[in-house]
Structure 1
Amino acid sequence: MFKDKPPQKKIIHIDMDCFYAAVEMRDNPQWRHVPIAVGGNGPRGVLCTCNYKAREFGVRSAMPNARAKALCPELIIVNGRMSVYQQVSQQISAILHRYTDLIEPLSLDEAYLDVTDSPFFYGSATLIAEQIRRDIYNELNLTASAGIAPNKFLAKIASDENKPNGQCVVTPENVSAFVANLALKKIPGIGPKTSEKLKAFGFESCADVRVSSVAKLHTIVGKFANVIYQRSFGIDDRALETSRVRKSLAIETTLADDIDSIEQCQAILISLFSKLQLRLAKYADREISKQTVKIKFADFKQTTVDIQSKSCLEAVFIELLQKAMTRANNRKVRLIGLSLGFTEQLSHDKQSQLALF
C-alpha cells in the first residue's frame, strides 16, 4: 500500500523591526521621528542597530559611530538597555507559544515557527502570522514582519520583503518563481565579498546558478557550493531545532568594509560581546568550557584562537583578538566572530531540577 504523503510544511519567520531601536522609540516618544541608533558611546563605539529613519542616511548596524555620525550628523546614539530588551523578548516568546510549541529562536528578536499542524485559523499560516503580529502590536506597541513559506530559508527571505510591519507569503506553487530572480547576496551566508566574487564569475541571481553546476560553484566558493545550489531552487530540508543541547554558542559579523586596526577590531568585538551575553542568558543551565575568537581576513583565510575558560569575559576575548591579529600579516579583516564552548553536562542545579520531573 502507498503511504500517505506528509503534509506540506508551513513555516513562519517572525522578525521584529529594528528591535532595540524600536523599544527605545516606544519608551521615549521624543525619539519616534528622529534618526536614532543603539550602541556604545565614544568615537570607537559601534552601532548594534538603528531605526529606519537613520537607515535613510546609509547608517547600518556594526558601523563605527564616527562613520555613522558623518553620514547623519543629527543621529542620536543611545546606550543599550540589554535587560529591557531581554524582558521584551520573553514577552514576545510568550505570544509565539500561544500558537505552537514548535519554535526555534534565532536571537532576541527573531524566530521560526512550524505551524503545519496548528489548529488555529483553520490551519492558515497566513492568518496565524497576521494574528501574531497583531498581538505583538496591541500588547507591546512594537511591530514585527513575517515570512510564510514551505521551509526556513524561504520564510526568512520572505520576512524581509515587506519590512517594516508587513508580511509576505510564498506558496508551494510559487517557490520557483519567487526564487528565480532572487539576488544571491540575499542567501544567508553570502556576504558582500562572496557576493562580489560570485558576480565576477557571472553569478548574480539564483537563475544564474540554475543554469550552471555545483562543480563550477565549488571552484569559486568551495563546500558552500551545495547549499547555494539547493537554495537557488528553493530547497531547504532543515527541520526546526526546538530542543537541541547546544555544544557552543557563537556570534559573528561580516563587515561592510574591511578594517585593519586593532582599535577598530576591538570596537566590533565589544559590540558582539554585548549580543553574545544576551544570547547566553538563555543557556543559564550550561557550564562554559572555552572562549574563542575567529577572524576571517580579506583573502578569505581565517584563524581562530581559543582558551579554556569557565566564564564569559570581555577581557579574555580582547586578549584572544590581540593574539589572532598577530597573524594578519598586513591583511585586512572582513569578519570577526566570538564563541563559547559548553561542557557536555548540564549544570548541577539543572540536573537536580530535571530529576524532580
Structure 2
Amino acid sequence: MEFDFPLRKIIHVDMDAFYASVEQHDNPELKGKPIAVGGGSKRGVVSAASYEARKFGVRSAMSGYIAQRNCPDLIFVKPRYERYIEISKQVRKVFFEYTDLVEPLSLDEAYLDVTENKIGNPSATLIAKEIRQKILNETGLTASAGISINKFIAKIASDYNKPNGQKTVNPEEVIQFLEDLDIRKFYGVGKVTAEKMYKLGIFTGNDLKTKSLDFLDEKFGKSGSYYYDVVRGKHLSEVKPDRIPKSVGAERTFSENLSSEIFMLERLEHIANELERRLLKSNIAGKTITLKIKYSDFTLQTRSKTLPYFITEKALILETAKELLYQQELQNSVRLLGISLANLNTEDKKIKKSDDLKKLLVQLKFDF
C-alpha cells in the first residue's frame, strides 16, 4: 500500500492504570485488590481505578459513592501526586534514550517519533518492546504501546492489548484496520458524535469511508475533513517535543455546596493564587480569563472575558473572576469553581524540524 503523504514511525506509550498501579507497587498488600485512587470522601471523585476495580465498572471521574456501590469491597487510596510525578520522570528519561521527539500527553502517556532514533534500530516494534521492558525493570510498572504510521493510529492501537501488551499496525495493514474499526474507537469521536453517526448509518470505518467530504462537512462542520482524512490513514500531526499549552487553569471542588457569591470569593482568591503560581512557574501570560462553575446538579457553565493586555498577576485575575461571577445570577448551589487563562503569549512559538528528518519523511515504504 502506497500513500501520497509522508509516513512516520510513531509509538504511543500508555502506562497501565498508572496511579492505581503505583499504589499497588508501593504497597504489596494492595496487589490483586480492587482499589480506587481518590474518591474516598463524601464528595470525592475517583482519579484512577485498578484493573480489579474496573471489572466492577469503576472508572475515573466516577463519584466515590457510585464506585463503592458498584464494588462494595473497593479500597480507596489517597492520591500521592508527587510520587506519580517522580515515576513519570523516570519513564520519560527512558523515552529520551531512544529519541528527542517525545510529546507527553499527561503523566502516564506520550507519543514518540522513532523514524530516526538514537539507537539506529529500524524497527519501531522492537523499540517499543525494549522501552516497555526497560520501564518495567526501572519502575516495576507495566506499559502498553501502539505502533503505526501516525499518532492517530498509534493511540488507537495502544488500547488493543492492554494491560502490558502492544500492537503494531503496519503500513500495508492501515486501511483494512481503519475500515474494520468500530466508529466509537476513532480518536476524537465521543459519545454524542458516535450517536449522531449511528443515526447517519455510520457504524464502522468502512461506513465512514463511503461518505463524501461534502457530506461530512455538512454534518460535522470543521471536524468533517478530519474524519474524511483519518479513515484513509491520513493524519499529519507531528510529534511535538515542546507541546505548547493553549490554556492554564486551576479549580477546586468543595466539600459542601456553596449557595451565595459571598461564600465563593475566598475560594476564588485561593484558586487565583494557585493559577498565578502556575503561570509564573511556566513563564506564561494570557489575555482571556474564563470562570468555570459546576452546579450541584452537575451542569456546567463558563463565563469569559478577554483583556487588551497579557496578565499573570493574581490581583488582576481575581478582579476579573469576581466580575464574571457577578455577571449573572447563579442557577443553583455550586460544587466547583475554576479559573483558567487562555489566549496565551506562547501561541506564536513554532517547533523546528531537522533537515535530516524532513528527508526521511518523504520515504513512502519502510519496515516496521
Q: TM-score w.r.t. structure 2 length?
A: 0.73
Residue 305 of structure 2 corresponds to residue 304 of structure 1: no
Q: Could you list the per-position Cα deviations for residues 167-221 of structure 1 after superposition, in whole angstroms to 9, with x for gaps in the alignment?
A: 0001111000111111222222221122112112211211111111233233433
Please tell me whether the aligned partners of residues 13 and 148 of structure 1 are also in contact (alpha carbons under 8 angstroms). Answer: yes
Residue 341 of structure 2 corresponds to residue 340 of structure 1: yes
Shift, 1:119, TM fit: 4.9
Question: 2:59 aligns to what SS in structure 1?
Answer: coil
Q: Could you list the per-position Cα deviations for residues 14-37 of structure 1 after superposition, in whole angstroms to 9, with x for gaps in the alignment?
A: 100111111111111111111111
Shift, 1:327, TM fit: 8.2
What does residue range 139-158 of structure 1 map to in structure 2 within 5 Å?
139-158=138-157
CA distance, structure 2, for counterparts of residue 189 and residue 161 of structure 1: 17
Please tell me whether the aligned partners of residues 288 and 311 of structure 1 are also in contact (alpha carbons under 8 angstroms). Answer: no
Identity of aligned residues (%): 42
Q: Could you list the per-position Cα deviations for residues 93-112 of structure 1 after superposition, in whole angstroms to 9, with x for gaps in the alignment?
A: 11100000011111111111
Match of 2:219 in 1: 220
Inter-CA distance 241–215: structure 2 relative to 1 (3 Å threshold): same
Question: CA-atom RMSD, angstroms?
Answer: 4.0
Shift, 1:72, TM fit: 0.6
Please tell me whether the aligned partners of residues 13 and 145 of structure 2 are also in contact (alpha carbons under 8 angstroms). Answer: yes
CA distance, structure 2, for counterparts of residue 251 and residue 213 of structure 1: 42
Query: Which residue of 281, 285, 289 maps to 1:284?
Result: 281
Please tell me whether the aligned partners of residues 180 and 205 of structure 1 are also in contact (alpha carbons under 8 angstroms). Answer: yes
* Residue identity opposite 1:234 in structure 2: G
* Residue identity opposite 1:157 in structure 2: I
Please tell me whether the aligned partners of residues 262 and 322 of structure 1 are also in contact (alpha carbons under 8 angstroms). Answer: no
* Residue identity opposite 2:304 in structure 1: D
Please tell me whether the aligned partners of residues 133 and 144 of structure 1 are also in contact (alpha carbons under 8 angstroms). Answer: yes
CA distance, structure 1, for counterparts of residue 136 and residue 325 of structure 2: 44
Match of 1:34 in 2: 33
CA distance, structure 2, for counterparts of residue 51 and residue 204 of structure 1: 30
Question: 1:239 aligns to what SS in structure 2?
Answer: coil
Question: 1:122 aligns to what SS in structure 2?
Answer: coil
Match of 1:54 in 2: 53
Match of 2:352 in 1: none
Shift, 1:241, TM fit: 1.5
Inter-CA distance 39–122: structure 2 relative to 1 (3 Å threshold): same
Q: Could you list the per-position Cα deviations for residues 335-354 of structure 1 after superposition, in whole angstroms to 9, with x for gaps in the alignment?
A: x99743375279xxxxxxxx
Q: Which 5+ residue runs of structure 2 have no aligned equivalent?
A: 252-256, 260-266, 295-299, 306-310, 348-368
CA distance, structure 1, for counterparts of residue 249 and residue 208 of structure 2: 30
CA distance, structure 2, for counterparts of residue 71 and residue 159 of structure 1: 27
Where relative contact order (Cα < 8 A, 6+ residues apart) is larger, the structure is 2
Q: Could you list the per-position Cα deviations for residues 71-95 of structure 1 after superposition, in whole angstroms to 9, with x for gaps in the alignment?
A: 1111111111111111111111111
What does residue range 109-148 of structure 1 map to in structure 2 within 5 Å?
109-120=108-119, 122-148=121-147
* Residue identity opposite 1:103 in structure 2: V
What does residue range 164-243 of structure 1 map to in structure 2 within 5 Å?
164-243=163-242
* Residue identity opposite 1:344 in structure 2: N
Shift, 1:123, TM fit: 1.6
CA distance, structure 2, for counterparts of residue 192 and residue 251 of structure 1: 26
- Which deviates the most, 196-205 or 16-25? 196-205
CA distance, structure 2, for counterparts of residue 60 and residue 317 of structure 1: 36
Please tell me whether the aligned partners of residues 284 and 312 of structure 2 are also in contact (alpha carbons under 8 angstroms). Answer: no
* Residue identity opposite 1:179 in structure 2: L
CA distance, structure 2, for counterparts of residue 321 and residue 59 of structure 1: 36
Q: TM-score w.r.t. structure 1 length?
A: 0.75
Inter-CA distance 170–322: structure 2 relative to 1 (3 Å threshold): farther
User: How many residues are matched?
Assistant: 313
Inter-CA distance 214–96: structure 2 relative to 1 (3 Å threshold): same
- Which deviates the most, 316-325 or 18-27? 316-325
